[in-house]
Structure 1
Amino acid sequence: MLFSGLKVWTSRSLWIHRLHEGINGGGKARYSSCSPKVCIVGGGPAGFYTAQHLIKARPDVTVDIYERLPVPFGLVRFGVAPDHPEVKNVINTFTQTARHKRCSFYGNVNVGKDLSVTELQEAYHAVVLSYGAEGNRRMGVPGEDLSGVYSAKDFVGWYNGLPSCRELGPDLSCETAVILGQGNVALDVARVLLSPIDLLKKTDITQPALEVLEESRVRRVLIVGRRGPTQIAGTVKEVREMVNLPNTRPDMLASDFEGVKEALKDLPRPRKRLTELMLKTAMETPGEKEHERREKASRVWGLRFYRSPVEILADPERSSRMAGIRLAVNNLEGSGEEARAVLTGEMEDVSCGLIISSIGYKSLSIDPSVPFDSHRAIVPNNMGRIQEAPGLYCSGWLKTGPTGVIATTLNNSFDTVRSMLEDMDSGTLNTSAAKPGSQSINALLENRGVKPVTFSEWEKIDSEEVRRGAAIGKPREKLLTVEEMLQVAGK
């Protein structure tokens, strides 16, 4: 899954409390006579955590959140696996923030298209960019644009109801699927491909995706990584879910685990637990009950290590469609997290009818006025302060790259807010002059024919989705187009 876990550091909670009480470095916080107005671009976890921290830290600040889609919550809504509903509980916290009297949400506003960042800077004392990572990292190999090759971001967006992925229509008529990457997203995709349909029917997976998966002929999923078992990016929870997935059995290569048992003693505890689980699954003879379960399984999954994609192979009869993948076999140089995959010159071909690339997301530039490092796909920043752009800040994946879990995002947003508050307090960020905030922005949007969706209007969408879901025994049935979302919102 994209996000998991929630942990607030005590020292940081204390820091917020001290600011809330008006204490900063042993003295009273120097609030300006003018209430600071801050806008946040992006209504996902980073945006909401940034708003939450700001509202708690300063009783005079007002925060407006602008989101491209009519609906809030970003990757919590569109990235978390449908069978992990507990991870979405953080939406309750975000809802409290959005309902706060000093916070406003404006969905259906595309910054960079409907508004420029410069216009936001003119209306607010500070602008925080938290719009995440909407782009795909490309594999950079021949054939990756062939039919049958999908990015994990798009595939996850398809089954989670992201409007831009509604027409994806993946072809699941093949027996073998290959997933490139071994992070939690890759494991989520493998699990969704192989899960019994009756389990998925109880989740908020979209009905069109459910219908395609019900007809799926995929029976074997290989999850491929360029490094070894001690570098896998997935977590023990996700791997254990694969091990215990009903009607499936694991298929591992003993050669992938040579020397791994001897390396266990030097691994940190979480990594050791994960590696032990994979070793047990791959190498140990299962007990009678587990053996019987595996014998009856009609679906297979396997982790494949030390392999990198070098070419997507075209179908000889249909040249626009893929029919397999050529993998380079690697050796590792170094150990632990720093280990590098080095090509051996050996190749192997795998026949398959579906390839899903889960090698990472990347942020995109939305406005030429904002500095952007296209190589690292982030906004250059120092603790959230965007370099050479006073009054501009960033948080979340745009700040760090697509890494970490929900606790990482929380702390990442916290650091950005701390930088902003320090700048307000020192006068580096001038908040002495009044700014119009949403008043002038709403006038601009009205003139441009843009209809923002407020949080109360989102709650109409929410109620309708829950109603539709209840009618078919699901927690919700998501609206799949922006047009229908706006209609239900009353726009």
Structure 2
Amino acid sequence: MRHIAIVGSGPAGYYTAEAAVKKWGENARIDVFDRLPVPFGLIRTGVAPDHQSIKAVARRYEKTAVGDTVRFAGNVTVGKDISIAELRELYDAVVLATGAPSDRPLNIEGADAKNVVGSAAFVGWYNGHPEFAALDPDLSGRHAVVIGMGNVALDVARILSKTEAEFAGSDIVAHALAALQASKIETVTILGRRGPHQIMMTPKELGELLHLERASPRVDPADLPPVEDDAILEPGLRKSVTLLREFAAIPESIHGEKPLSLNFDFFANPNAIVSEGGKVTAIEVERTTVEAGRAVGTGEVYRLPADLVVTCIGYQTNTIEGVPFEERAGRFANDDGRILPGLYCVGWAKRGPSGTIGTNRPDGYAVIDLVDQDFASSSRKRGREGFDELAEARGLDVVSFRDWQKIEEAEIAAAREGAPREKFVDVESMIAARSG
């Protein structure tokens, strides 16, 4: 019998569990731990609420989660309720699939001003993550600036721009929907240090901006390189740049029909946050040029009005006591997934925040191959039995997958008309719902 502990129940965690089941079948016992009482990680709290088709991948993970081979153990914080050293004593292999849940800091002057928030916090707020549900961003100002040129920046800009009706069918939480409905924001500026050829935005997400009811995207034609230069781009990026060219060609008369302006500001590096009374009022920006793929300042400085700033500049893994960490890369120190004997990492915790949800599948299968190579002999570890004894001794309130199903049933029952669910946004309510 192989005893495997997976820390983190998002895509990387469940793809790893799936791989373990396919490798060893009933000759394995896999425990999937999560600090929240609910599974699926960024599928639940990271993917945009209006992207329900992407969230549907959780149904695949459910097939892995039911039965005796794989067990969900929610409401258990590794590093607090149980240490990494203890897990390594109990299990043949411990795989860290904790993702990269924290924002990379915006290291510029004034970044600590009120209403300057990271995307992990802002996305967590409108997705109902218990850690960020009480964020309460101030949307009473006219100008929002979103820093970043990836899909997360697009998500944030799109959510800020939508009407209430456009959230039909989404699982955006009630407190965020009410705040967005009352929003006074008139301009959303997406700020990027480099140019159109360096964006990390995919065509599908960019194309959604063409269908917003109250906003249309603006691109300055002067920011676009000669069209013949697009030939060197890989096909996906070429499609994205073609969409930017389409945005640049939208006539002013169309923009004038929409009450919200959605602007792309390329070649713009944030230098400082300007505030009054501790609250952001503007962002100081330096114009850049791109040399050998890098943004280089030109010395030209200007200010953009900003009543809200959301930074979408990347994420980093949270440290855990006893696990080597690469500060600069923001991930666990590892050699292609191996950290220490019996300790591994996978997904964003291994490679940093890159790739799509599907990228985690080959990652999960690869790490199980490593485990198989490293542990050829039969196990003498206690695994699940040992953890259950420890949990009882410490009074841990472990949430099972069946408990989660009861929580989900309660969320579905509480949904507003047309919505798939109304999420519980605090741990206490989740715990209470399992016995409802």
Q: TM-score range by the shorter chain?
A: over 0.9
Deviations 1:256-297 (A, max 9, x none): 11x341311211211111111111221x355xxxx7654321
SS in 1 for 2:137: coil
Deviations 1:382-409 (A, max 9, x none): 22111xx111111010100011101211
Is residue 408 from structure 1 mapped to residue 359 from structure 2 by the alignment? yes
Residues 383/100 of structure 1: CA separation in 2 closer, same or farther (3 Å cut): farther
Distance in 2 between residues matched to 1:61 and 1:440, nearest whole Å:
15
SS in 1 for 2:403: helix
- Displacement of 1:452 in angstroms is 0.4
Is residue 81 from structure 1 mapped to residue 57 from structure 2 by the alignment? no
Distance in 2 between residues matched to 1:58 and 1:345, nearest whole Å:
60
> What is the 5 A alignment of 1:74-473?
74-257=41-224, 259-282=225-248, 284=249, 286=251, 293-315=254-276, 318=277, 320-334=278-292, 339-367=293-321, 369-386=322-339, 389-424=340-375, 427=376, 431-469=377-415, 471-473=416-418
Residues 255/113 of structure 1: CA separation in 2 closer, same or farther (3 Å cut): same
Following TM superposition, where does structure 1 have runs of at least 4 consecutive aligned residues deviating by more than 6 angstroms? none
Residues 126/447 of structure 1: CA separation in 2 closer, same or farther (3 Å cut): same
Distance in 2 between residues matched to 1:285 and 1:407, nearest whole Å:
34
Is residue 55 from structure 1 mapped to residue 36 from structure 2 by the alignment? no
Whether the 8 Å contact between 1:43 and 1:66 is mirrored in structure 2 is yes
Is residue 70 from structure 1 mapped to residue 37 from structure 2 by the alignment? yes
Distance in 2 between residues matched to 1:144 and 1:412, nearest whole Å:
35
Distance in 1 between residues matched to 2:227 and 2:269, nearest whole Å:
24
Distance in 2 between residues matched to 1:141 and 1:193, nearest whole Å:
24
Distance in 1 between residues matched to 2:362 and 2:85, nearest whole Å:
27
Residues 433/85 of structure 1: CA separation in 2 closer, same or farther (3 Å cut): closer
TM-score normalized with structure 2 length = 0.97
Match of 2:434 in 1: 489
Whether the 8 Å contact between 2:143 and 2:186 is mirrored in structure 1 is yes
Deviations 1:42-99 (A, max 9, x none): 1111000000011011121221101100000000000011110000111111101000
SS in 1 for 2:61: helix
Deviations 1:103-144 (A, max 9, x none): 111000000000001111111111101111122101100111
- Displacement of 1:239 in angstroms is 0.8
Whether the 8 Å contact between 2:221 and 2:245 is mirrored in structure 1 is no
Deviations 1:409-428 (A, max 9, x none): 1122222112112223xx4x
Distance in 1 between residues matched to 2:213 and 2:67, nearest whole Å:
44
Deviates more, 1:201-210 or 1:184-193: 201-210
Instruction: Indicate the RMSD between aligned Cα atoms, in angstroms.
Output: 1.4
Distance in 2 between residues matched to 1:481 and 1:362, nearest whole Å:
23
Whether the 8 Å contact between 2:171 and 2:419 is mirrored in structure 1 is yes
Distance in 2 between residues matched to 1:203 and 1:50, nearest whole Å:
28
Match of 1:24 in 2: none
- Displacement of 1:381 in angstroms is 1.7
Whether the 8 Å contact between 2:29 and 2:384 is mirrored in structure 1 is no
Distance in 2 between residues matched to 1:247 and 1:203, nearest whole Å:
18
Distance in 2 between residues matched to 1:225 and 1:149, nearest whole Å:
17
- Letter paired with 2:332: V
Structure 1 portions without partners, runs of 5+: 1-34
- Displacement of 1:148 in angstroms is 1.2
Distance in 1 between residues matched to 2:306 and 2:427, nearest whole Å:
35
Residues 109/133 of structure 1: CA separation in 2 closer, same or farther (3 Å cut): same
- Displacement of 1:255 in angstroms is 2.1
Deviations 1:151-178 (A, max 9, x none): 1110000000100101100000111100
Distance in 1 between residues matched to 2:413 and 2:337, nearest whole Å:
40
- Letter paired with 2:309: I
Whether the 8 Å contact between 1:247 and 1:294 is mirrored in structure 2 is no
- Letter paired with 1:421: D
- Letter paired with 1:308: N
Distance in 2 between residues matched to 1:381 and 1:250, nearest whole Å:
41
Distance in 2 between residues matched to 1:213 and 1:285, nearest whole Å:
26
SS in 1 for 2:81: coil
- Letter paired with 1:38: I
Whether the 8 Å contact between 1:68 and 1:109 is mirrored in structure 2 is yes
Deviations 1:319-364 (A, max 9, x none): x111000011111112xxxx10011111110111010000011002
- Displacement of 1:251 in angstroms is 2.3
Whether the 8 Å contact between 2:3 and 2:379 is mirrored in structure 1 is no
SS in 1 for 2:344: strand
In the alignment of these two chains, the number of paired residues is: 435
- Displacement of 1:380 in angstroms is 1.8
Whether the 8 Å contact between 1:309 and 1:325 is mirrored in structure 2 is yes
Match of 1:40 in 2: 6
